[in-house]
Amino acid sequence: MSTSYEQQHVEYPSRKRLAWLTAGSAIFIAAGLFLILSDSKETGASTISCVVGVVSILFFGCCLCYILMKMIKKEPSFVVDEKGFVDSSSYTSGGSIAWTDVENIFMYELMGQPMIGIKLRDEKAFLDRQMGIKRKLMTVNTNMVDATISIAQSSLTLPLDQLYVMMVGRWKRVNPSVTNQQPPEQV
């Protein structure tokens, strides 16, 4: 669901996608429990099963908590206006970003999933403001695709290519000196 008012475009998370992610997380938590509780006659195999089970429960348990919080809060996942955008579409979302801070916006594909990449002018200052694991994940992303912020389709209802056109148009209005930017070379 999206709404537009006062030159602002607001995207809310897709309830259907969140429901599927919730179900998927619950299945992996159950699989982790099964691995921990399953009886194996080999000691080495049971230790590995327990470790994999615990990791599965911890990771997908955190994912489930995050998804449930997104479902309960009912906050926008993405807002675009004439000043910039607010990204809260994922755990590694960028927050509030002004168009003047954006160096480049480009589309790319990661593991078969289309993404919008945003490279910031002062990437180091932005990453320094992030905390803990979020900073590490954003740094890894920056090293992989040269995008400080990445936006995936999974948390949006508007098709990504339409959001990209909207973002580039508003970014160019604020920065008229911007020419047709090309994406950085992908590894």
pTM of the model: 0.67
Q: What confidence tier does 140 reach under pLDDT thresholds 50, 70, 90?
A: confident
Amino acid of residue 5 = Y
Q: What is the pLDDT of residues 25-41, one digit of tens each?
A: 999 999 999 988 876 66
Residue 39's pLDDT is what?
67
Strands, E, within the chain: which ranges? Answer: 2-5, 8-11, 78-80, 84-87, 95-98, 102-110, 113-120, 149-152
Q: What is the pLDDT of residues 51-101, one digit of tens each?
A: 898 999 999 998 898 888 877 877 888 899 989 999 887 777 778 889 999
Structure tokens at 18: 């969140």
CB of 8 closer than 8 Å to CB of 2: no
Distance, in Å, from the CA atom of 172 to the CA atom of 66, rounded to the nearest integer, reads 34
What one-character DSSP code corresponds to residue 56?
Answer: H
* Element containing residue 92 per DSSP (H, E): none
pLDDT of 120 > 60? The answer is: yes
pLDDT of 5 > 90? The answer is: no
Residue 150's pLDDT is what?
86
